Amino acid sequence: MPEYAVELRDVSKRFPGPSGEIVNAVKNVSLQIRDGEFFSLLGPSGCGKTTSLRMIAGFELPTEGEVYIHGRPMGQTPPYRRPVNTVFQNYALFPHMTIGENVAFGLEMKGVPKAEREKRVKEALEMVRLPGFEKRRPRQMSGGQQQRVALARALINHPEVLLLDEPLGALDLKLRKEMQLELKRLQREVGITFIYVTHDQEEALTMSDRIAVMSGGRVLQVGPAHEIYEKPNCKFVADFIGETNLLEGKVIHQHGRQVEVLLAGGLTAHAESDQSLVSGQQVFVAIRPEKMALRPYDGAHNVYVGRVEEVVYIGTDTHYTVRLAGGQRVRVREQNDDPFSRPLANSGDEVRVYFDQTPARVLTE
Amino acid sequence: MFLRLSRDNIRGLLLIAPVMTLIIGLLIIPLILVVITSFGSRSPDGNVIYGFSFDNYRRLLGITPTGFDPLYLEILLRSLWLALQTTVAVIVIGFPLAYFIARASPRYRNLFLFLVLVPLWTNFVIRIYAWLMILRNQGVLNSLLGWGASLLGLPFQPLDLYPSDGAVLVGMIYEFLPFMILPIYTSLEKIDDSLFEAAADLGADALRTFLRVTLPLAVPGMVAGTILVFVPVMGTFIVADILGGRQVILVGNLVQRQFLDARDAAFGSAAALILMALTLVVTIFYTRRFGFGEEIVSA
C-alpha cells in the first residue's frame, strides 16, 4: 500500500449552525494526496473545501473519520503538534512583530538558537524574493509582499505538507497571475506537498497536479486538470469548470461507451459515457463550445440545424449563440484564423452545428 | 503679519468657535486664575491676597521657616502610590474579565458589556456609601462572617475594615474597573482569530500564544485604560473622604479642604497645580515609554 502525504478516510464534519440547526459541512470525504503533489481543493464557497483543509491543519476535528499525515492518524492532535503549516487567506501576520520575527516564529517555538534562526530567516526571505526585509513591519508592506512573508513563515519550518487557504484571493489579477507562477516555482524548489484551496477554476487548472472538485460537502471528482476538464463525471463538474453546453435528453440505448440520446425536439445525439445507463434515463449531454464547429467537416457524429442569435467577437475567437431546431440554445466557439477575422455567420443566419461523439459526455445530475 | 482669511478659513473658525469659547472660558481662563492665585496668600478673613511669592510651593515641598516638614510630600507620595496600586489591581482584575467577554459568543458579548456598565447608572457617591455599608464594623461583610462563624461554632471578632487605606483602595478599584475593562476589551476584540490559529499552526501552545500574541496585542488597551484610571484616581477625594473616614488624606482631599475648610484658596491652588503637574509628568513619561498603542493596532 502506497503511503500518502495526506489521507482523509471517510471524514465528516458537522457544526451547530447559527440558529441551532446542524450544518453538514463535509460529508464522507475520502482523499489520497501523494507526496510532493500540488493538490487543489476546488469548489464554490460553502462546498466544504476550507473545512477539509482546516481538519488537516487541526483547527477543526472531524466528527467522523480520520485524517492521516504520512500514515500517522492525527486523532485529537492539536495544530501545534502537526507536521503541517498553513498560509492563511488574510496572511495572518502578527502586526506587533517585525517581518523577521514573524518568519522566525515557528523556529523560535521549536527552540532553534537565535543565530541559526537569523540565518534561516535570511534564506527564507531570499527564497520568496524579499531579501533584507527583516526589520519592516507587516503594515509597511503591500498585499503581495505580505503574502510572500506568510509563505516564508510557513516554509521555513520545512513542513511535511503546506496548506494554502485561498492565498491569492485578496490580490489583484496581475499580481495573482505572478504569484501563481511563483507558488509553482516554490513548490518545485522545496518539493513539499501543497494542498491548495481555491474557488478559482482557472487557478486550479494552471497550478495543480491533481484537483478535487467539491460541492455540498462532497468530493465529486478527483483527477489531473485535463481529465477534470475533458471528462467531467457529473453535471456539476462540467458546469463549474470552464464553459459547457448542457443538452437535456433521455437515453435511447448504450453500446459500450457509446450512448445515443434523444434530445428535445426529436434530435438524437451521439455521445460517450463511462457509466452504465438504462434506456429512458434522464441525462445531459455536455459539450464544450470549442469542441463544436460551424465549419463543416467529414465524419462529424452530430450535425444540427440552427439559427444564429448572437455573435460576439473576443479577439482570438468568436462566440456564436445558436438556437437549435429542438429549441436548445448552444454556444459555439470558433477560432478567428481567417486573415481578416471575418465572421462565419451573422445574426439571423441559418447554420449547421457539427460535433464529434468523443468530447460529448453523457452526464447524470 | 496678518492672517489671510479665506472663505474656508472663516467657515472653519466659525465651526470651532463654540468649542473654543467653552475651552477658553471654562478651562484656560480658570486655569490662569488658579496659577495667579497660587502665588498669593490668605488674608485673616479667608480672602486671597494677590502677590508673587513661592511660599505656597515651598510649604508643599516641606520647606518651612522651622525646617523640613514632609507632611505634604507624604500626601503626594501616598496619592501616587494609591493610584499605582489601583491601576495595577484593575489591570489584574480587568484583563481576565475583558478576555472572557471578548472570547464570549457575540450574542452574549453585548449583555456582558452592559453588565459592566450598569453600576455607572448609580451615583458615584452612593456606590461608595454602599461599600461603607459592606465594610464597616456591623456591615454586611462582618455580619456574614459572624453568621458563618456562629454556624461553625467559632469565636468571631468583627474585622476592622473601615475606615482604612485598604477600604479606600477597594473603593477606587471598584469605581474605576469599568474604565480598564472597556479599552482592554476593545483591543482584544479586534484581534483576528486567524492570528491565534497562525500561532498554533507555527507550534505555539495556548500559553505561548497568550504570551506572544494575545498579551502584546492587548497592550494598547492597557495603556489607554491606565490613563483613564490613573489620572482620575490621583485627583479623586470622595472615595478617601468616605472610606478613609477622613483619616486617609490624598492630594484631592488636600485641595478640597484648603478651598472649603481652611479657606486658603492660594495654598489650595498651588496644591492643585502640583497635582496637575505630577499627573502630567507621569502621563507623559508613560506615553513616551508605551505610546498610546496605536502604532501596534494600525496594522
Cis amide linkage into residue A296, ω under 30° from 0:
no
User: For position B170, what pLDDT does the model report?
Assistant: 94
User: For position B297, what pLDDT does the model report?
Assistant: 45
Q: What percent of chain B has pLDDT over 90?
A: 54
Quick check: A234 pLDDT over 50? yes
Domain boundaries, chain B: 76-298
Q: Has the ipTM of the complex gone over 0.90?
A: no
pLDDT tens digits for range B256-289: 999 988 899 999 999 999 999 988 988 888 888 7
pLDDT tens digits for range B30-86: 999 999 999 999 988 888 889 899 999 999 988 888 888 888 999 999 999 999 999
B297–A90 C-beta distance less than 8 A = no
Quick check: A339 pLDDT over 90? no
pTM for this prediction: 0.81
B203 chain-A contacts, CB cut-off 8 A: 80, 106, 109-110, 157
pLDDT tens digits for range A249-301: 999 999 989 999 999 888 999 999 988 899 999 999 999 999 999 999 888 89
Measured in whole angstroms, the distance separating CA A76 from the mean position of its chain's CA atoms is 29
User: For position B293, what pLDDT does the model report?
Assistant: 52
By the 10 Å C-beta count (0-12 exposed, 13-18 middle, 19+ buried), A201 is classed as buried
Q: What percent of chain A has pLDDT over 70?
A: 99
Identify the CA nearest to A218 among candidates A34, A7, A6, A52.
Answer: A52
Nearest-by-Cβ selection for A57 from B201, B203, B205: B201
B197–A59 C-beta distance less than 8 A = yes
Q: For residues A9 and A1, give the distance between their C-alpha atoms in angstroms, rounded to a whole number.
A: 15
Q: Are A270 and A360 in contact (CB under 8 A)?
A: yes
In angstroms, the Cα distances linking B42 to A74, A139, B259 are: 81, 58, 11
A-chain residue closest to B193, CA distance = A92
Task: Tell me if residue B156 falls in helix, strand or coil.
Answer: coil
User: For position A17, what pLDDT does the model report?
Assistant: 80
* CATH class, B76-298 region: mainly alpha
Q: Which residues of A touch B (CB under 8 A)?
A: 57-59, 78-80, 84-86, 88-90, 92-96, 105-106, 109-110, 137-139, 153-154, 157
Q: For residues A217 and B15, give the distance between their C-alpha atoms in angstroms, rounded to a whole number.
A: 58
Task: Tell me if residue B97 falls in helix, strand or coil.
Answer: helix
A80–B203 C-beta distance less than 8 A = yes
Quick check: B87 pLDDT over 60? yes
Quick check: A312 pLDDT over 50? yes
In DSSP terms, A258 is beta-bridged to A255, A272
> Cβ of B294 under 8 Å from any chain A Cβ?
no
Quick check: A363 pLDDT over 50? yes
Backbone phi and psi for residue A192, each to the nearest 5 degrees, phi listed first: -90, 145
Quick check: A178 pLDDT over 80? yes
Grid cell locating B181: 475593562
A92 chain-B contacts, CB cut-off 8 A: 192, 194-195, 197-198
Q: Are A295 and A344 in contact (CB under 8 A)?
A: yes
B296 chain-A contacts, CB cut-off 8 A: 95-96
B-chain residue closest to A154, CA distance = B202
> Cβ of B215 under 8 Å from any chain A Cβ?
no
In DSSP terms, A255 is beta-bridged to A258
In angstroms, the Cα distances linking B149 to B152, B158, B161 are: 5, 11, 17
A-chain residue closest to B192, CA distance = A92
A96 chain-B contacts, CB cut-off 8 A: 216-217, 219, 296, 299
Give the best residue of B187, B188, B201, B208 to mutate against chain A (max A CB count within 10 A).
B201
Measured in whole angstroms, the distance separating CA A250 from the mean position of its chain's CA atoms is 30
B213 chain-A contacts, CB cut-off 8 A: 94
Measured in whole angstroms, the distance separating CA A243 from the mean position of its chain's CA atoms is 14
A-proximal residues of B, 100-129, CB under 8 Å: none
DSSP percent split of chain A into helix, strand, coil, nearest 5 = 25, 35, 40
Q: Count Cβ–Cβ pairs < 8 Å, chain A vs chain B.
A: 70
- The model's confidence at residue B3, banded by pLDDT at 50, 70 and 90, is low
Q: What is the mean pLDDT of residues A4-16?
A: 94
Quick check: B113 pLDDT over 90? yes
A-chain residue closest to B220, CA distance = A96
By the 10 Å C-beta count (0-12 exposed, 13-18 middle, 19+ buried), B189 is classed as middle
pLDDT tens digits for range B133-181: 999 888 889 889 989 988 888 888 888 888 888 999 999 999 999 999 9
Nearest-by-Cβ selection for A94 from B195, B297, B298: B195
pLDDT tens digits for range B235-265: 888 899 889 887 778 899 999 999 988 899 9
In angstroms, the Cα distances linking B161 to B164, B173, B238, B253 are: 6, 16, 18, 21
pLDDT tens digits for range A79-131: 999 999 999 999 999 999 999 999 999 999 999 999 999 999 999 999 999 99
C-alpha dihedral, A194 to A195 to A200 to A201, nearest 10°: 90
- The model's confidence at residue B292, banded by pLDDT at 50, 70 and 90, is low
> Computed over its alpha carbons, how large is the radius of gyration of chain A?
25
Q: Mean of the per-residue pLDDT values for chain A?
A: 93
